Amino acid sequence: DSIELSPFWRELTTKSARVLETTAADGMQTSSLTKNLQSMRRPSRLSSHSDLEAVQIAVRRVSRSSLSDKQTCNARTLYGRIPIQPHGHFRILWDAVGIMLILVDAIMIPLTFAWSLETDNTAGGTFLATLSRLSLMFWFLDIPLNCVTARYVRGNLVIAFPQIIYNYMTGWFWFDIIIITMDVLLITNPELQSPALKSARGLRAIRGLRLARLLKANKISHILEEATAAAGRQWLLLLGALVKTAVIALVATHWMACAWFFIGISTSGDSWLVVTNALNVGWASQYLHTISWVIAPPSPPPIRPGSTGEVFFHIMLVLFVWAVVGGSIGSMTGTLAELRAINSEATQKRREVRAYLYSQATPIELSSRIMRFVDCTLRQKDTRIAVDLSLISPSLQSELHVSQRGHIFTGHPLFELVANLYPAAFASLCGAFQKRVCDKGESVFEEGNFSTVMYFTAVGGKFVLRSTSGKELKFKDSRWFNELGLFTEGSIHDASLWAATFSDIFTLSGQELGNCVEDMAACAGLMCEYAKEFIAQISRAGRQTSEVQEQCCWIACQQNRYYVSENPDPDLDIARIDIQLESFPKDVRYKNLPEFIRHAIAGELDDQEILSETLQTLLVELNPQIGTHIIFSQRAERDRSESSCLSILSLVANQFEQFRSPQLTPRLTEDQWHELQDIVAWIQPDEEDVHAVLVLLAIFLLDKSRRLVGQLPEHVQKEGAVLYLLDCVRHVVPSASTLSDRCLELVKRTLHLHEKFNFAQFLQGENTPANVLKLKNYVGTDIHLFKFYVFFLLGFMSGLGAGAGSKFMDSKNASPVILGCRTLQCLMHSTPQAIYWSFIVGKAARNGLSSATATDLVLNRFACLGRVQDKAGFDALRAAWGMVGLHRRNALTRHFLADGINQRAFLFKFLPDCISNARANRVVKLPSFLEALVEVTESLESFGDSHAATSKLIQVDLSDFADFIKVVQNRYIFQSCISRCQFRFIGANMYIDMSHSNWSRCNEAESDMANLAHSVKDVLYKIDGIETAVLKDIEVKAPTAFQDDSLSL
């Protein structure tokens, strides 16, 4: 069976495409695709722009390791290393140095204040001076670093520079400036270093203001504590708490000792220093003496009874010792209690599980396995502690998901691309994955089972994969399985997977993935484009094994235009590509293309292999090694282009067997060949025309390359890509430089003409006489341009099947092409209506069908649209037509006979796909489709009137309707689907969106109510049949405009 997108993804594809088309129609495009994608990245469930930026940083952190060197360089260019993260390694190290300097100040400043230590020429003075200068340099550099360090504001990480600077300016900036200014004055001002001021208490007080930096110690200490806690080690938390408590106690003791000495030296008369004879020893001994006094105050203290200040301070010392010792003990006790609570919680859970197993009389072997699994679960950091997520903002939850799981999913090329382009969507995606813990030996999925989710194995776990052949593969890295289940209704596992140890598995459904991206149109477009290409690659491979799916996902990602835009290949840069004609070896017999054409037209070259090799040499775009098509990985397009060129040469040289050599049955007949020769004779191409058409056919399909078109300006449409190459990047198409100015202009006008008129739509009856009028108006009186265009069409259609000749133009396919070209020959002297309907009538006549009535004309056009080419198919079409009521048939007749010139007409794009899907779907069938088509035309008429459409011809995109017809599985849902559709204009085109109301019910099971509604419909059909029998003569008459005596077919 063919692999199809699930209804959900079909709906999402349409929704995202419409949003992007609306954006483009409103002129909101930017100068490049990347900028356009950037502009459409919306936060989606994040509370602010700063939240989105924080998620971007988190995504970068986990995905950078999986990026290539070039991608990493691009990521750094886009985001850079600035602003500095407050919890980054550099900032933590810098803050640790700051804490050390603050502690040094906390020790040295009280010492210099109490003992009047100076920065003189002594060893101690030099040390103090050096320390002061190092501290000054550090805090001076800290100011600009604070200006580029991200900050938390109300729990949100702010990384926008204006906000960072504003918060710093309104916070610590002025404090830092004042303190540094005083430091600079103390170090550099000679007057402040004079002996007269060295002992001044005012100067000491100024130096003491530097202790205000202790206010910053709490902030820096908090950051370091968080970094320690992030390591997740209990002993680190305990050690950190103990060190912090000890440092605070020692610094406080040091301050009290300095203060006690300062009181002693400042007290007049006999202070405690005099009483204890401490004035006669060095300052180091004095310091130890004061420290011992503070730690263990003597009792009774040697203080003079009249020294009230010393007595009072002594009392404060005793209270201080009690407070410090008690606070330290309490802090350490609280830390130990917290750790004990964590361990006791785990123990309690184990006890509860064991009690439950005992109460259920669980066997010992099973009980042992369960307890081992419980122990493994409790050991995991992310499952041991339950967290109330309502305490965490959505943005922080997103960052948490990315940091925990992002490195697992960025191994997949699609998710890595989403992480680089849309961090917010990737963060939501990380949260959407469902985690599952597997026991040792537990099966993840079994071969042959049906699944609708994608599996990811977590890094660190050990798994065993057993293929169909019985081969086992053991691995412990992150891998993914069953990606096909994301985008389809489900798939069958081709292998079995089980856990070899306690391991984690993540699963994701297609619905959950779509919910993550549906609010971001550009990201949804990326996903949908990838999904379609991935399924196409799987279909081409013909297998759905895990290996095939992994290979196809890489190919689909590399083919994605978003990936191409984000990862341009420097070797494919059109500014650097330089294909010189002289760089290719020339056949010694033919020096240039005109000379080769001359000999080919004369019929001197009948060897197809020589023809092919010569074309590959002279038309460098076709070279199979280094030609333009090969450079942009377009081998299939190169083969078609070469086939078109070979077919043109066979046509002008009248080489019948050469032309049809690659064909199978039914091969082109001699009569058809003679008709083709008649068309060539009418064109009368000269050597320059052949030269121009060969160049045009060689370069025409270059617009299929996404890597090429993606480098062109956005205003260049896909059809205008080749024109842009000819005008601005001609070195990519060097064969164009061999054309004369007249031929080059002819090629350009032909490309413009091809944009105006779609010959393939004309052959299918998909367009209208109004399109023929556009062709006629553009051609005007330039018969040579028109003949060259027909000449180009012959070559282009002949090469569609590739091959060394024309594989496509066999007897079956050549008939409509010949008829279409013969009909267009009358463009200059016939009306558009006559040309259009003569083609429909002529095609019907070749199939033995009548065109006498309006119904015949409509059915003949419908047969073209439905690609009906035999009598059995036409009989089934006529039978379906007969099952439709008269007034509905009349409505369809009016629609299919409208010319878009005198009457309003709707050009239904993808109508052939709708008909084909309706015939293939047993629920829909042609009669129900015709009924629905009537509702579409009636709705379009009223919608067009309400929007006052000025043009008589309105293009209507039915692609979404065609997809819906293909998958709908409920008759009533289909019969009533038009009432739930949405009609909208985007630019000059109209679109029919099936809406969520239809897509969500396309797989709805048949119910009694639905069957009743269908029965009512059947009754209405029978009433219509009776009405038809009574009013059988009242039908829309056939138009006479197609009858033209000047036409000879």
**Structure confidence by residue, pLDDT tens digits, 354-380:** 887 777 777 777 777 677 777 766 665
Least confident interval from 47-51, 351-355, 380-384 = 47-51
Least confident interval from 435-444, 792-801, 891-900, 914-923 = 435-444
Task: Give the pLDDT confidence score for residue 578 in this predicted structure.
Answer: 73
Task: Give the pLDDT confidence score for residue 327 in this predicted structure.
Answer: 74
- Per cent of the chain over pLDDT 70 is 76
CA 888 to mean position of chain CA atoms: 45
pLDDT over threshold 90, residue 664:
no
Task: Give the pLDDT confidence score for residue 21 in this predicted structure.
Answer: 62
Task: Give the pLDDT confidence score for residue 308 in this predicted structure.
Answer: 75
Note the pLDDT tens digit of each residue in 756-814: 898 988 998 888 999 999 999 999 889 999 999 999 999 999 999 888 889 999 999 99
3-state secondary structure of 9: helix
Q: Considering only residues 82 and 546, tell me which one the structure prediction assigns the higher pLDDT.
A: 546
Other CB atoms within 10 A of residue 751 CB: 21
3-state secondary structure of 633: coil
* Measured distance CA(738)–CA(720) in Å, rounded: 21
pLDDT over threshold 70, residue 1025:
no
Cα separation values, 936 from 22, 894, 930, 931, 951, Å = 22, 13, 10, 9, 19
With bands split at pLDDT 50, 70 and 90, how would you rate the model's confidence at 511?
A: confident
pLDDT over threshold 60, residue 609:
yes
* Measured distance CA(889)–CA(914) in Å, rounded: 18
3-state secondary structure of 497: strand
- Which residues, including other chains, have CB under 8 Å from residue 189's CB and lie 6 or more apart? none
- Per cent of the chain over pLDDT 90 is 12
Which phi and psi (to 5°) does residue 495 adopt? -150, 175
Crossing angle of helices 123-147 and 89-115, in 10° steps, is: 140
Q: 1013 near 971, Cβ under 8 Å?
A: no
With bands split at pLDDT 50, 70 and 90, how would you rate the model's confidence at 923?
A: confident
pLDDT over threshold 80, residue 860:
yes
pLDDT over threshold 50, residue 34:
no
3-state secondary structure of 394: helix
Average pLDDT over every residue of 739-761 = 91
* Measured distance CA(796)–CA(640) in Å, rounded: 8
With bands split at pLDDT 50, 70 and 90, how would you rate the model's confidence at 214?
A: low
Residue-level length of the chain: 1049
Which phi and psi (to 5°) does residue 753 adopt? -65, -40
Task: Give the pLDDT confidence score for residue 541 in this predicted structure.
Answer: 82
pLDDT over threshold 70, residue 78:
no
pLDDT over threshold 70, residue 930:
yes
Task: Give the pLDDT confidence score for residue 632 in this predicted structure.
Answer: 85
Q: E strands along 78-193, which residues?
A: 151-153, 156-158
Mean of all residue pLDDT scores within the chain: 77
Task: Give the pLDDT confidence score for residue 967 in this predicted structure.
Answer: 85
Q: Considering only residues 1036 and 712, tell me which one the structure prediction assigns the higher pLDDT.
A: 712
Task: Give the pLDDT confidence score for residue 682 in this predicted structure.
Answer: 94
Tokens of 1040: 């006479």
pLDDT over threshold 50, residue 69:
no
Which phi and psi (to 5°) does residue 705 adopt? -80, 120
Average pLDDT over every residue of 184-207 = 53
Other CB atoms within 10 A of residue 595 CB: 14
pLDDT over threshold 90, residue 67:
no
Q: 71 near 79, Cβ under 8 Å?
A: no
* Measured distance CA(751)–CA(700) in Å, rounded: 9
Average pLDDT over every residue of 739-749 = 92
With bands split at pLDDT 50, 70 and 90, how would you rate the model's confidence at 73?
A: very low
pTM: 0.67
Task: Give the pLDDT confidence score for residue 788 in this predicted structure.
Answer: 94
Least confident interval from 586-595, 826-835, 896-905, 928-937 = 586-595
Using alpha carbons, select from 183, 89, 185 the residue that is nearest to residue 140.
183
